[in-house]
Amino acid sequence: MFGGVLAILIAIWVFRTTVKAKTGNVILWTAGAAVLFFVVQILFYNINIFIIDGLGTDVGGEYDRDLTDIGDRKDGGGIQDGFFGSVLGILFELLPLFMAWLSIAFIRTKYILKEDLNVKNLISGISDMFIGIKNSFKTN
C-alpha cells in the first residue's frame, strides 16, 4: 500500500518538474517514471528473495499452510530472529522503495532538469510538490 502511495507522489513530483522545466512530453515522462518505479521495485524485491535464498533458510517452510496445527506460525529460528533479523526485515522492506525513488530522482535530475548530481538536486521539488498538493484543496 505504501508503495502505491509513493508511486502516486512520485508521478506528481515528476509531472510538476516537467511542467516547471518546460521539457515537453509531460505525460510520457510521468508515465515512464511510474513504470520505472515499479520495475525497479520488483527488481529489488527479487534481489531480496535471492538474498534470503542465499542465506540458506526457508522463511515460510515451517508454516502450517492449512492452519490445521495449533500454532499457525513459526515461533523461532532462521534469519528473522534477533537484532540482525529485525534490521534485515526493515532493510528488505524499505530498500526496494528507496532504490525505486532514487532511480526516479536520478532520471529527473540528470535528464529532465539537466543538473549536476548531488543530494540537494536529487531531493529538490519535494516540498514544492506537497505545498502544491495542499494548495489544490483550498477553495477561494
How far is the C-alpha of 114 from the C-alpha of 62, rounded, in Å? 51
Classify 115 in phi/psi space as left (phi over 0), alpha (psi -120 to 50) or beta: beta
Task: Provide the pLDDT for residue 3.
Answer: 82
What would the pLDDT profile of 33-91 be if each residue is shown by its tens digit?
A: 999 999 999 999 999 888 877 766 555 555 555 655 555 444 455 566 677 777 888 88
For residue 6, the Cα-to-chain-centroid distance in whole angstroms is 7
Alpha carbon distance 58, 67 (integer Å): 18
pLDDT (tens digit per residue) in 127-136 = 888 998 898 8
